[in-house]
Structure 1
Amino acid sequence: MTPRLTITDATVSYNRVPAVHHLSVTLNSHSLVALVGPNGAGKTTLLKAIAGLVPMETGKVTVHGGNRKNAIAYVPQREAVDWDFPITVRGLAEMGRYPSLGLWRKFGAEDDRIVEESLHVTELEAFADRQIKALSGGQQQRAFLARAWAQQAEIYLLDEPFTGLDRNAQEAFSGALHKLRKSGKLIIASHHDLKSVPELFDHVLLINGELVASGPTSETFTTANIEKTFAMKIFSGSEPHHHHHHEPHAS
């Protein structure tokens, strides 16, 4: 297993309240990681801190074999995006190339090739010229994956990507994630539907402000660890109740 991302002693606050305390973990490439924890456990805050979008009070983030700025792509929750923005699927994917173009380099054949590849990986070729607002929720979600692929990111940070997707959309999105994983990427996605974790993810990262456990789903996603994470007893035949309000968005 090749380490791709190491988080060392990360403490991050939201509105001056520590949301993540002294968290340390190493995650490997070729991994699909579910980030699981109760509401307010710091999932969104942690993703944003890894992406460099919110400052960390202590600790550091190390990307192995890549430069942090280009290696990491962050995909926010769907409701955090302005879907009326007039841009096509291909236009959104092309945005992924801009950081590497710099100011003066022209969009060239290699950029075009990578954009086409991103549309292929996410199965959006047929929708390339469609406005993003005319897409279904699952297609919108994959369009952001395409932008991240075009950026040639190694690490994908996804905030609740499966929320609101129906079964078919979930399968299509999961298929795209598996392609990313196969090509060596590290994908970390916050996820609140506990039942679907084993079918969608091969690794889990359980947090409740602090790290509870991290490792392969088969070994780590245990009743004991889930109870510790949600600080509750799960009675047989039932599962924790989830209230569907998300953590506040850091502005």
Structure 2
Amino acid sequence: NEGAGVVEAPGDSSFPEGARVMFTGPYGVSEDGTYGESIAVRLEDLCLIPDNIDDATAAGMPLAYLTAQITLMQAGFAPGKIVLAPAIGGAVGNAVTQLARAQGAGMAISTTTSPAKAKQARALGFEHVIDLSAEDLAHGVARIAGGRGVDVVIESVGGALTGQALATLALNGVLTTLGYSAGRETTIDVTDLIWKRASMSGFSLFAQSHAVRAAAWAAILPLLASGAVKPIVERTYKLEESAEALRHLIEDRPFGRVIVAH
């Protein structure tokens, strides 16, 4: 439901023929998706690609980066706040970490489930990464944040991690949950909400208005153009290799986006 390409038939839109654009929307859900050579896209779903971003990188950006920026804004993020976004190798976890850091977070903390990915993350400059195969989330956050909780959690993994992440919140903290790759059920301690006066809410990108998405792009694009955030593409496959691309994504759990290109 996301992709990038070149405008071929602009109709009466403001995007000229030949413009490089990226987009996301309900494509592949309620209408044709991006596994093809061409696609009809609504004007409000399009965004011009910055000159310093190649097409493959742009193709894997819109869903994760819009989700990341909007959830940060709606959670009341401000410079100096501590953010936790589990799954540094995943699309949303990485995007939240990069955007929070680029916009002045006091700390941008993430997680991984293997020493190899933790090492890879640190080599890429992600300083605050908790290896959950060696340390539980509560101890990792306490170690990194000096015993203080986090102000914002953007949780895209689901399962038991959602309840564990809720427990790391500081007073008046906010948790947003938006994914469930690790499971649709979790257990929470309600006192993590009550005594901390914390809040927890769900998020769906496709329920957001055009104005909200436009405001998010307005914040993201300058950071892309300046190089303050750098989306990570792990591998690019040809369209006819789509089956192998999906196998690699599901079974190998790579660090970064997997792109299918025509």
Q: TM-score, normalised by structure 1?
A: 0.32
Q: TM-score, normalised by structure 2?
A: 0.31
**Greater relative contact order, per chain length (Cα 8 Å cut-off, separation 6+):** 1
